[in-house]
Amino acid sequence: MLNDIKQTPASLKALLETHISLNKVVKGINLPLNPNDIGQIYVIASGSSRNAANIAKYFIEKVAKLSVIVDFAGEFAHRSPVVSSNDLLIPLSQSGETADVLAALNKGRELSMQVFSITNNLDSTIHKLSDSGMVVQAGAEESIPATKSFTCQLMSLYVLGIYLAEMRKTLPVEEIEFLKRNLLGIPALIYENIETFSEKINAAADKVKDFKNLAVLGRGQNWALAEEFALKVQETSYINAFGWAAGEFMHGHLAVLDENFPVVSLLTKTFDGSENYDLAIKNTKEIKTKRTPILIAIGHNSVDFADVFVNIGEQNGITTLFSTALILQLLAFKIADLLDKDVSKPRSLNKTVLNE
């Protein structure tokens, strides 16, 4: 798992070089629909892929001015969604063979939807059954828990969002170039960050490793990232971890916290703006005051109510998300490592879920 994380910068660099050059239109994306004719986008996925989609949803909606609906592939395949032939279906699957995603793709075909897949395998069934698609270029991933493939899926969706913004002319050219410059700088930033936060990550892992439960909180894009980190902790350490939207957590879920239920709170400024950041600080401080759990926080400016604070420094809403994702992957790995778990082959799990 750690090797996969360390390979992320090279995979991201290859992906970005395939699609993005400054002062040029995003290349290598061939949608089956004219971007200006798209009604809405449905992303169908499972596991880490769905979490990547929920993060990117905020970005695509904001830059491309398109509604993005993210659904569990296994649910979409077995209900009656109201869609049209102008809606774009995006099956998102690392392997391109995930049974639930394949079933959802077939459901979309029955409903006359146009299909643009995002996978890590050109020879996969999902890619071949799609009208068109793109490859995330993560390369082979040794560990069952998705790390570099998750980050590459997320980046692929960001690239798609910029392409849609260009084609639909929903952002000024200078804003699009700003986004591209920031994305192009992320591989180097992640490479630098792999060692930068090791001391704080080790301290945070040591604080939570012996607990049976863990709450992970975030607002906006950080909510979906909280779900991804919780999944990673479940997969690698078998801790009962759950990701919640920080505001929603106050509506009843707060009651489960006590001194045996630590919290990880994501307090970074993401692409959704400062309001979510301010509210996340407020929610987290209230949680710490009311229930006094052990609190691990990740953010830009130290807060005096955290037991361990990982300061990522001043970054913008584009780079922050990817930096935080890396820190959380390293934290999940460290917790499992301290518990002497097999992070490459967790119990009961397979790399690709082939049976429904």
Whole-Å CA distances, 257 to 211, 234, 249, 260, 335: 12, 18, 11, 7, 20
**123, two tokens:** 């020879």
CA max distance for the chain: 55
What local confidence, expressed as pLDDT, does residue 8 receive?
A: 96
What is the CATH architecture assignment of 2-190?
3-Layer(aba) Sandwich (3.40)
- Per DSSP, the three-state class of 345 is coil
What local confidence, expressed as pLDDT, does residue 356 receive?
A: 42
**323, two tokens:** 């930096």
Burial class (CB in 10 A: 0-12, 13-18, 19+), 139: middle
Domain span(s) for CATH 3.40.50.10490 in the chain? 2-190, 197-338
Contact 41/57 with Cβ under 8 angstroms? no
- Phi first, then psi, for residue 75 (nearest 5°) are -85, -45
Contact 214/264 with Cβ under 8 angstroms? yes
**92, two tokens:** 């998102």
**331, two tokens:** 């934290």
Contact 117/96 with Cβ under 8 angstroms? yes
Whether the predicted model's global pTM rises above the 0.85 cut: yes
Other CB atoms within 10 A of residue 4 CB: 25
Residues 328 and 239: their CA atoms lie apart, in Å, by 15
- Phi first, then psi, for residue 93 (nearest 5°) are -150, 130
What local confidence, expressed as pLDDT, does residue 352 receive?
A: 57
Class of CATH domain 197-338: alpha beta
What local confidence, expressed as pLDDT, does residue 349 receive?
A: 66
Bridge partners, residue 116, by sequence: 132
Contacts of 223 (CB under 8 A, 6+ apart): 54, 217, 243, 244, 245, 246
Q: Output the tens digit of pLDDT for each of the chain's 356 residues.
A: 999 999 999 999 999 999 999 989 999 999 999 999 999 999 999 999 999 999 999 999 999 999 999 999 999 989 898 999 999 999 999 999 999 999 999 999 999 999 999 999 889 999 999 999 999 999 888 888 899 999 999 999 999 999 999 999 999 999 999 999 999 999 999 998 888 899 999 999 999 999 999 999 999 899 999 999 999 999 999 999 999 888 787 776 877 888 888 999 999 988 876 667 778 888 888 888 877 678 999 998 778 888 999 999 888 889 999 999 999 999 999 999 999 998 878 765 665 545 44
- Phi first, then psi, for residue 162 (nearest 5°) are -65, -40
